[in-house]
Amino acid sequence: MALLAHELIDQVLHRVRDPQGVVASRAFVLDMLSKAQQLVNAKLAFVLDETPLVTEPLRCFYPIRSLLPQSQTVMFVTVGNKDLLRVPWRGFWAMKRGWPREVAEQMQLWSLVGRDVLVLWPSRRVATTVTVKSAKLTTPLVNEQSVPDLPDDVLPLVVDLAEVLVLLKMRKADMAGEAMTMLHGRIVARE
């Protein structure tokens, strides 16, 4: 049975030694849990989104936020049944000076410029449909009856991160440092 947000709020408030929510309100903790869920999924990609993207002729730069609104972190790009090879952004500059204007029959590489721009190279003369697989932007937790998008076995990471955020709000830096160390250990174990 899936855990509900109110159960996670209770866990966080118990851990930060504020079970009544005097310093950190339940609404604040709910907001931190919602943000923590998004951050954990962005880092570890437990919930994926698969979105078709129709490219434009002779274009290789695509803004992620406007074209792929449910995408947090792009993981894979495929054309048909072929996976494009991911390369570091700086690798394009080592190729040749006019690489953004390169046109070919098939796309071969993809990269990210920061987190906001997807590069598909080389461009094509015709529109092509590519499939972008990415860590999904999880649904915000809107009330205490909300069900998190992440599986129950991942929710301890979400609670750990929310605990750190609440402790920082409470200005308990020493406790936040200890909680962050525990969170880091759990994340390393999952990677």
Tell me: the pLDDT tens digits for 21-79? 899 999 999 999 999 999 999 999 999 999 999 999 999 999 999 999 999 999 999 99
Beta bridge partners of residue 63, listed in sequence order? 117
22-25 contacts at long range (C-beta below 8 A, 24 or more positions apart): 23/169, 23/170, 24/166, 24/169, 24/170
pLDDT band of residue 133 (cuts 50, 70, 90) is: very high
pLDDT at 93: 81
pLDDT at 13: 96
Judge residue 2's burial from the number of C-beta atoms within 10 Å of its C-beta, 0-12 exposed, 13-18 middle, 19 or more buried. exposed
pLDDT at 1: 61
- Kindly tell me if the per-residue pLDDT of 96 is higher than 70: yes
pLDDT at 115: 85
Greater model confidence, 190 or 62: 62
- Radius of gyration of the chain from Cα atoms? 21
Percent of the chain scored above 70 by pLDDT?
99
Domain ranges, ordered by start, for the chain: 5-45+141-190, 48-136
